[in-house]
Amino acid sequence: MFGIAMSKKTLLNSKEIHIILHRLACQLIENHNNFENTVLIGIQPRGIYFAERLATILQNEYGISNIKLGHLDITFYRDDFRRREAPLEANKTQIDFIVEDKNVVFIDDVLFSGRSIRAALTAIQSFGRPSNIELLVLIDRRFSRHLPIQPDYLGRQVDVINEEKVIVHWKEKDTKDAVYIINN
């Protein structure tokens, strides 16, 4: 498990992720009933797999029809444009419904500095004024926030040092579900 130069620790395996996904789905139902006035927004690029998985569980296992799911790209709203070494690459935004007066749930894989969510809060305004916005994340990296942003629903909280990276794998993209902590 530990390499010479780089160590990789499994934080969650696919079974644990499966349980967490179902718990989060139930927590969403608790607060949003039949989702009549709720929209789910996956944050590009990595939040969309998580959002799609949750939507599928809500539909197939809890019989909630008409789940409204969108993808939001935040590249043009980031506060580190021209401040990064590598240029940012944009992804597709797809929101085919109106968010005006809706309950919006942002879905992302890892909450770290909070800056992505800050950008998402600005970006979503281009699609209307939501009634309220909640945040659902799979992994919350504690004590690493640059901004006063906290999740409303969370899969697992972890304490990791800054040099460590938390990587979420989804089977749709990376062959299996898993969360790793990587130390370079």
Partner 1 sequence: MSQLSVQHLLGIKHINKADIDLIFKTADHFKEVINRSIKKVPSLRDITIANLFFENSTRTKLSFELAEKRLSADVINFSASQSSVKKGETLIDTANNILSMKVDIIVMRHPNVGACDFLSKHVNARIVNAGDGTHEHPTQALLDSYSIREKLGSVAGKKVVIVGDILHSRVALSNFYALKLQGAEIKVCGPKTLIPKYIESLGVGVEYDIKKALDWCDVANVLRVQNERMEINYFPSTREYSQLFGINKKLLDSLDKKIVIMHPGPINRGVEISSDVADSEQSIILNQVENGVAIRMAVIYLLAQQIKQ
Interface contacts to partner 1, rule CB under 8 A: 73, 75-77, 81-83, 86-93, 122, 125-128
Output the CA–CA distances (angstroms, integers) from residue 58 to 9, 75, 151, 160, 176, in the order listed.
30, 29, 20, 31, 21
CB of residue 55 to partner 1, shortest distance in Å:
21
Q: Is 10 or 81 the residue whose CB approaches partner 1 more closely? A: 81
Q: Is 93 or 183 the residue whose CB approaches partner 1 more closely? A: 93
Q: Is 128 or 182 the residue whose CB approaches partner 1 more closely? A: 128
- Please choose, from the candidates 126, 132, 58, 129, the residue with its C-alpha nearest in 3D space to the C-alpha of residue 95: 126
CB of residue 72 to partner 1, shortest distance in Å:
11
Q: What are the residues facing 104 on neighbouring strands?
A: 39, 133
Query: In this structure, what is the dihedral angle of CA atoms 14, 89, 164, 118, given to the nearest 10 degrees?
Result: -90
CB of residue 106 to partner 1, shortest distance in Å:
18
